[in-house]
Chain A
Amino acid sequence: MPSAAVTDLLSPELLKRLERLELVSRRIFRGRLKGERRGKRKGQSVEFADFRSYIAGDDLRFIDWNLYARLDKLFLKLFLEEEDLHVFALIDASESMNFGTPTKLHVAKQLAAALGYVGLCRADRVKVAALGPPSAAAPVLRGRASMWRMIDYLSGVEPGHNVSLSSGVKDFCLRNPGQGVVLLITDLMDKDGYESALRMLVGRRMDVYLLHVMAPEELDPPLIGDLKLVDAEDGEETEVTASGYLLNRYRRGVDSFVAGARSFCSQRGVTYIQIRSDEPVERIVTSYLRSHGVVR
């Protein structure tokens, strides 16, 4: 397997640290396989949950015979079943992510890899996918050994899939009907808006984390003079005279955009986390995401 890709996306030191982490879900979802977390569904487990009356057809193995002996009634012992978690890491692979040093897409892939690895280590069901056409080829992973496939997939993700955020999310929702934790890693640079995409995820009762990646060049553009700005995605041209006055207005615009996104998310139970692309992914995961409660 491409160890170079592993080193590129996740350093061995980070991998060790990630193994001790766990993804936090504020909801308990029903997984398909037993995982390492307590599911909401009661089932075969060692942890008692409740009793209920026997109904014909129930598994006789869960009848509490001691209680039948005392009360002469058939009660079924219910146990909380430990389930696995569905973790989806969605990467915006549009052309706008191909900016910054390192590129925002690279940071997004690192985050996806890191969080995906955390999920794999906890036997969660992990699906790492880039929005747009590559999402079809995204594998469903489980178990630490699947890390290589995940890395392999992420290495193959290239920028340039300029689907809008809403259509990409819609496509994802159609393909993945289950619930779970969604880590949406994007720069939100979508002229059609990000709101419909988030609404769709929230409407699917997903536990949504929005990781908003921004390059320092976007936050504080080092521009001066008369320029013709060319949009990397749709080629739209905008002429500006980059003066102090305009740059101030731009910065104010960015601030209000971020504030708007944060406000939108908080109103809908979406965890908004702003990430600068020039920060090391180790620090982002181990301290930043931890402080925001994404991992613990």
Chain B
Amino acid sequence: MSFLPVLSAWQWALLAAVPVGVVLLYFLKLRRQPLRVPSTFLWHRAIEDSRVNSLLQRLRRNLMLFLQLLFLALAMLALLRPGWQGESGGGRRLILMLDASASMAATDVAGAATRFELAKQRIHDQIDAMRGNDVATLITFSDRPEILQEFTADHRRLRDALDRARVTHRTTDLREAIRGAAGLAGVLPAGTVGGLAPGDGVGGESSGGGGTEGAGDASQLPASTGAADAGATGETAEPEVATAELWIYSDGGFGPLEEASFGKLPTHYVPIGTQSASNLGIVAFSAERNVERPEQVEAFARIVNFGNQPIQGTASLTIGDELIDAAAVDVEAGGETGLSFDLESLENAELQLTLDIEDDLSADNTAYTALAPLRDISVLLITPGNRALQIALETDQAAELGRIETKPPSYLESDEYRSRAATGREDLIIYDRCAPAVMPAANTFFIGSLPPEHWDAGEMSGPLLPIDIDRTHPIMRFLDLFSLKIVEGRPLQAPPRSLALLTTTAGEVLAIAPRVGSEGAGYQDLVMGFEIISETEEGAAFNTDWPVQRSWPVFVYNLLRHLGGAVDATSAPSYQPGTVAPLRIDNQIREVRVRVPASLDAGGTNATGPAGPLTRSVSRDAGGPLLFPETERLGVYRVLAAEGAQPLSLFTINLFDPRESDLRPAASIRVGEREIVQSDAQIRGRSELWRWLLMAALGMLAVEWLVFNRRMG
């Protein structure tokens, strides 16, 4: 039994005067109003029990006084907050980490609506169990950590911060959170806490539903915050590293953290959730246009049963509110199934696949994909003359993709070129045996030449025979190049993060790399180390037999689709919640609006913020791609040039994370070399008596009132 006195010393002194006052009031009551009566003779017969006037007997017989004193005693005892605590000891520094990832919205727990709410209750109990000089900090984590409350001994602030915590649709990545927690505990040097700051990790819209109270620099926390904050509440808490404890409230829906470490920090893992949770989830859903017949669309979905029981149901495919197709789903426990839908004549559609079942996690029962309209691309070909390339660009399929303009190398010197290159109006610029002085704001394809910087090439050699072809890359898809013959070429020395698409006996002769440097971020450069047509003394001659192979027009078509940007027009990309989505739209557009879908809030309830669709405005930084960070909600996001206009492009946000969909809580979590088994938080839970005492006190008051009425009535 321990006590947590609520009042300060002088308040207790004031309270102690109350029972004394009550007794005094009873003595005052003895000063009765005198009244002459003919005789007290008859009264004596009525009040035989009042004849004994001695003080002690009077007090002993006064039931109401005793009831009142009992009421006061119970109330004072309640103010002492008696209770039991499993473990004593003060001055602890608790780091409370709350999993806010998508799986915490599961409804498989008893006693709370969701796992997240149950975890909040547990943390609430933990806060209540804190002794006077304990301090605690509250951190939520999903794919990024967020400090909701720094170290403080103030229970109210901790509870307020806990109330602000909201579950998200995001995935789980504990590494940053562990690094931050270790830094806060003082296990790691202060500098390593970088990246974890209050309110950090949230894009424009805070999932916490509000800012962080008392935001400060987290890098200063390990040494100073605990003491400073505790001092503000009148307590003195020495931040002793040895007393810091890490409490992780999670379902363990993340993989082993091999590289992470929080040293010898005492860590408790409180698993939230049940092993019997049932969940059927969509882990993949996409739609592809038929390459040959773009009006035909095939939609694929992969559905996994993460529960212990087989689940039957239906999957409905809808466009808007219109049901397009449905399929029966029957998945064994732990099994998975695939669904495919063939759709006709879809120009511009937003597809939604819904599992019509009741399970414990609703976020993965709906998946979205979108088919954006085919759009024209703009290609600028600068060549001294390349008939083979021009023919390939003029095929019917290539011509459907967009507009192709051909200019001689002298065009590079013109102001018009410089303007077009700088403004980024072109989606793809092909430099055939020529190179610009400055890289343009567009994707580029260099044939037999090199970009002005970051790229280099070896000596010319030949003949070259293909050794390795990366046929997984979209540009190289469907190509059979092993019969390719190249008269001569130069091996490429590509910048970092390049990808070799074609390797020959001399080395890489075809490579693609993202543009190096901040100005060119988001653009890709494809460089071919050999020429298609070479200028010889006899005139133009083929340097390779590729143009006469069947793979040549396919390669050019792939080039236009993927490097020109046409590929984006055929299938909208899907991102996971919380990631920053790049918007692939016409480079000439400086500012767009993004229509955010209505909120299917985590846990299926629209608890926070405006639930309806939102419109956000995004503008392009100088030369950079458009980025959209507010991807908390699941659904189809439309990128619009103006309100009400046809969408320029679409992208979708889906959960698509088997770890989040797998609701079985991990019995232990592995961080670095340490295996952290589950901890029973109930042991530490403090059983409070004050509510019962207060109810008993109220009962006493009611009895006293009854007694009074019975006497006076």
Contacts and interface: CB of A to CB of B under 8 A. Distances in A.
Interface string B697-713: 00000000000001111
Interface stretch (B25-33, B85-93, B349-357): B25-33
A227 interface: yes
A103 B362 CA distance: 91
A226 B47 contact: no
B711 A245 contact: yes
A253 B45 contact: yes
Interface in B1-45: 29-30, 32-45
A230 interface: yes
B38 A226 contact: no
B50 A244 contact: no
Interface string A228-266: 111111001111110111100110111011000000000
Given A225-B33, A238-B47, A244-B712, A96 B40 contact: no
Contacts of A257: 42, 45
Contact of B32 (A215, A228, A245, A250): A228
B37 A239 contact: no
- The residue in B34, B42, B53, B710 that gathers the most chain A C-beta atoms within 10 A of its C-beta is B42
Contacts of A229: 34-37, 40, 43
Nearest to A244: B713
Contacts of B56: none
Contact of B38 (A99, A241, A253): A99
B291 interface: no
Contact of B37 (A104, A232, A245, A254): A232
A223 interface: yes
- The residue in B30, B40, B45, B50 that gathers the most chain A C-beta atoms within 10 A of its C-beta is B40
Nearest to A95: B38
Contacts of A238: 40, 43-44, 47, 50
Interface in B139-153: none
Q: How large is the interface on B (under 10, 10 to 19, 20 to 34, 35 or more residues)?
A: 20 to 34
B43 A96 contact: no
Contacts of A16: none
A227 B36 contact: no
Contacts of B29: 226
A239 B35 CA distance: 10
Contacts of B55: none
Contacts of B42: 189, 218, 250, 253-254, 257
A232 B36 contact: yes
Interface residues of A, number: 40
Contact of A253 (B36, B46, B53): B46
Contact of A227 (B32, B711, B712, B713): B32
A191 interface: yes
A228 B39 contact: no
- The residue in A218, A231, A233 that gathers the most chain B C-beta atoms within 10 A of its C-beta is A231
Interface string B36-80: 111111111111001001000000000000000000000000000
A95 B34 CA distance: 17
- The residue in A187, A226, A237, A239 that gathers the most chain B C-beta atoms within 10 A of its C-beta is A239
A215 B39 CA distance: 12
Contact of A215 (B36, B38, B41, B712): B38
B45 to A, nearest CB: 4
Given A226-B29, A239-B53, A245-B710, A231 B47 contact: no
A204 B695 CA distance: 72
B43 A240 contact: yes
A159 B37 CA distance: 14
Nearest to B45: A253
Contacts of B40: 229-231, 236-238
Contacts of B53: 239
B10 to A, nearest CB: 35
Contacts of A95: 38
Nearest to B33: A227
A228 B36 contact: no
Nearest to B713: A244
B44 A218 contact: no
A257 B43 CA distance: 11
A241 B713 CA distance: 12
B46 A246 contact: yes
Nearest to A215: B38
A135 B38 CA distance: 22
Contacts of B35: 223, 227-230
A243 B34 contact: no
Contacts of A215: 38
Interface string A72-111: 0000000000000000000000011111000010000000
A257 B44 CA distance: 12
A163 to B, nearest CB: 14
Contacts of B41: 189-191, 231
A238 B47 CA distance: 9
A253 B46 CA distance: 6
A232 B43 CA distance: 13
Interface string B541-572: 00000000000000000000000000000000
Contacts of B50: 238-240
Nearest to A254: B42
B37 A226 contact: no
B43 A189 contact: no
18 contacts: A189-B41, A215-B38, A218-B38, A228-B32, A229-B34, A230-B34, A230-B40, A231-B37, A238-B50, A239-B30, A239-B32, A239-B50, A239-B53, A240-B43, A244-B713, A246-B711, A250-B43, A250-B46
Given A96-B39, A238-B44, 12 more contacts: A227-B32, A228-B33, A229-B34, A229-B40, A239-B30, A240-B32, A240-B43, A244-B712, A244-B713, A245-B713, A250-B43, A250-B46
Interface of B: 29-30, 32-47, 50, 53, 710-713
